[in-house]
Structure 1
Amino acid sequence: MERNDDTPRESGKDRDTSPVDTGGKRWTRRRTRRALLAGGLALLLALGGTSAWALDRFVIKHVEITNASALESSATSASDSSTSSDSSTSSDSSTGDTGSTGATTTTATSYQSADTSVTISTVTTGSGSDTVTYYVADVQLSDATDLRSAFADDSFGENITEKTSQIATDNNAVLAINGDYYGFRDTGIVIRNGVVYRDEGAREGLAFYRDGSVKVYDETTTDAQTLVDEGVWNTLSFGPALVEDGETVDGIDSVEIDTNFGNHSIQGEQPRTAIGVIDDNHYVLVVVDGRSEGYSRGVTMTELAQIMEDLGATTAYNLDGGGSSTLWFNGEVVNQPSNGGERATSDILYIEEGS
């Protein structure tokens, strides 16, 4: 039978039978319990407030723009119309759409069309607990705007997430990697496919230009519209920059990115995602697996920079990593994400099939 009184069970020899003492002890216990209850309630209320804030900040979706692809398509059409009207030269009948000719060939590790070349390779170094495995997508394009970005659920905002594979499939991608997880934060310059979505400069960003060049820049010294006017097609806001002018950037093993509530250090041996440019319209996309002894331990930031440098990147930049690191090609996840499966993210970089 369940006991309803507050006094503990005691043996006969230990039980104090004094009415005065017993009453005093009970009164003291009740007062103590009331104090503990009041304190506990206050703590729960405080935790409740913190939990509500955390849920709102990191979990609850805040959708600012839906149907982002339609917005981008409209902006591109307007830009193309403006360019066409400004041109005083007529069409040359000898010039055609090179993308409309030539066969598209796809294998387990490659994709080739008239305008796009993708080659996937797997690299393993070391042995035992020092083994590192990473995947490289070598990408060559004839048009820099064929390197595109897409949002989870085709919507811009905070905490909107889908798996890389789902976003890639929805956008008819042949190749995709996770992006910078812009939706985790409310700062940074976010320009995607020529459209400005956010203009809150805060860190070192990466800008992809329509002419195929790529530059690391300080977000706090410019603004989004200036970048668009200068020809920027996409920006990424994570970092740090790994390679500049063909050499590893000093001090990257001490840089921290957004080490706020709920976000862990980016340092140490971790799964990684990075993008680099070898030459105009020639990119390398790298995903390093990690946290799996004997298969891949992950790499430090300096090791990641060295990988990018060895691949010939003149500029390289670190993207969201850890469980987010995913390389998707031709309908399949190529790497082995450290969570045992894909972790949902807010955005991807991708190459559309047929581009």
Structure 2
Amino acid sequence: MKKLNKKGLGVLYGVLLFSFSTYALLDTFIIPHPMQSVMASNVVAGTGIKESVEAAIEEKLNTTNSSTEKVANNTDATSGSTANTNASNILTDVQTVDGGTVIGEYSDSNTSITLKQYRAYDSNIYVADVTVSDASALKTALANNTYGRNITDTTSNMAEDNNAVLAINGDYYGARQSGYVIRNGNLYRNTSGDRDALVIKQNGEFEFVSEGETSAEELLQNGAYQVLSFGPVLLEDGEISVGENDEVGMAMASNPRTAIGYLGNNHYVFVVSDGRTSESAGLSLYELASFMKELGVADAYNLDGGGSSTMVFKGEIINNPTTNGHSNQERSVSDIVYIGGTN
């Protein structure tokens, strides 16, 4: 009888341990935990339209034909995912960073966007050249408009929900329990992740900071409008900041990538590359940094890549998101970086 009781207690203990472990895993990675609804930004970025930016936008508008708001409608017949097949066919002969092929354009009174596709490093790379009249046009959004753990949505859904003309995935803050989160002037997480973070200031400039050397509250007080915590820094003052063998964690050397770069005076680039497929190998961090340097980018920052890497332009998924190279579909993520449209 005592043996049976001990055996029964052992089984019960095993069941309880398994149940607890399962719940802990679900609680950490699956079960949504909303922490705070997103409120309207209490910080207004920028001080208005600067003459030099107006001139840049006007120049772009004057050199663009009357059908500026276009992007090729497309469908990847093989995978069923949205992709710009016309541009992909054109790009087979483009092997250098120079030039690129224009696959989409957009303009309104505050924003000018030219979307190009490049072929470099045996990969398809998509670059959105963005000029805005004010840094407040460079926005971020959270999945379901809510800050919290395990709250995710696709980049395309978030883009649609926020009337974004252009969007890329962000830093997937919800996959980590640390790393500063400041979005549209609101502070959501002040726990340091001991990494180099990107600060997009109210005047639109980029600044790189070590989370271990400054607090999120200090950043907010000093004019931080967005703070993204992923990294690493790719370019700083025009110089490459990563080594040829640097990588994020245990990731493979060639991956789909997402990055954002600063060219100066409210002028940015959003960059997404395909990877992990026979058509597109993917980029190392050093290749990504080198590519962006050739574009003339002064400061560049690596965002969440791999299966998260997605670019959406005027409601169309421009690249071919893939996690394992076998399925082409978007990964649900925590957040996006986007440019809103007015037309």
Q: Is the shorter-chain TM-score for this pair beyond 0.5, marking a shared fold? A: yes
Structure-1 residue corresponding to 2:288: 304
Segments of 5+ residues of structure 2 without an aligned counterpart are: 48-53, 72-103
Task: Tell me how far apart the structure 2 counterparts of residues 252 and 45 of structure 1 sit (CA, whole Å).
Answer: 48
CA–CA separation in structure 2 for the residues paired with 1:39 and 1:271? 47
* Cα RMSD after superposing both structures: 2.7
Kept in 2, the 8 Å contact 1:104–1:114? The answer is no
Aligned to 2:70: 107
- 8 A contact 1:242–1:252 mirrored in 2: no
Q: Could you tell me which amino acid in structure 2 is paired with residue 64 of structure 1?
A: M
Q: How does 1:250-289 map to 2 (within 5 A)?
A: 250-251=242-243, 253-257=245-249, 265-289=250-274
* Map of 1:121 onto structure 2: 116
Return the offset for 1:47: 3.8
2:209 aligned residue: 217
CA distance in 1, matches of 2:11, 2:235: 52
Q: Equivalent residue for 2:93?
A: none
Shift of 1:40: 7.6
Q: Secondary structure at the match of 1:110?
A: strand
Question: Partner amino acid for 2:339?
Answer: I
Aligned to 1:56: 27
Q: Deviations over 1:64-93 (max 9, x none)?
A: 112x1xx224x248x99xx9xxxxxxxxxx
Q: Which residue of structure 2 aligns with residue 347 of structure 1?
A: 335
TM-superposed CA distance for 1:238, in Å, is 0.4
Amino acid at match of 1:236: L
Match of 1:234 in 2: 226
Q: Residue 261 of structure 1 corresponds to which residue in structure 2?
A: none
Structure 1 range deviating more: 327-336 or 182-191: 182-191
Question: Which secondary structure state, in structure 1, belongs to the residue aligned with residue 270 of structure 2?
Answer: strand
Q: Cα 1:252–1:220, aligned 2, differ >3 Å: closer, same or farther? A: farther
Identical positions, percent: 42
Look up the equivalent residue of 2:338 and give its one-letter code.
Y
SS where residue 20 of structure 2 aligns? helix
- Is 1:290 the counterpart of 2:269? The answer is no
CA-to-aligned-CA distance 1:214-265 (integer Å, 9 cap, x gap) = 01110111122221221111010001111112111144733545xxxxxxx2
Q: Given that residues 288 and 298 in structure 1 are in contact (C-alpha distance below 8 angstroms), is that contact kept between their aligned partners in structure 2?
A: yes
Show the 5 A alignment for 1:2-151. Answer: 45-66=16-37, 68=38, 71-73=39-41, 75-76=42-43, 105-108=68-71, 109-125=104-120, 131-151=122-142
Q: Using the TM superposition, give the Cα deviation of residue 42 of structure 1 relative to its aligned residue in structure 2, in angstroms.
A: 5.7
Gaps of 5+ in 1: 1-30, 84-96, 258-264
TM-score (normalizing by structure 2) = 0.77
Task: For 1:300 and 1:229, locate their aligned partners in 2 and report how far apart those are by CA, in whole Å.
Answer: 35
Match of 1:72, as an amino acid? A
| Higher radius of gyration, 1 or 2 | 1
TM-score by structure 1 length? 0.75
* Residues 173-197 of structure 1: CA deviation (Å, up to 9, x unaligned): 1000000001111211111001111
Structure 2 CA distance for aligned equivalents of residues 225 and 337 of structure 1:
35
Q: 2: CA distance between counterparts of 1:63 and 1:348?
A: 17
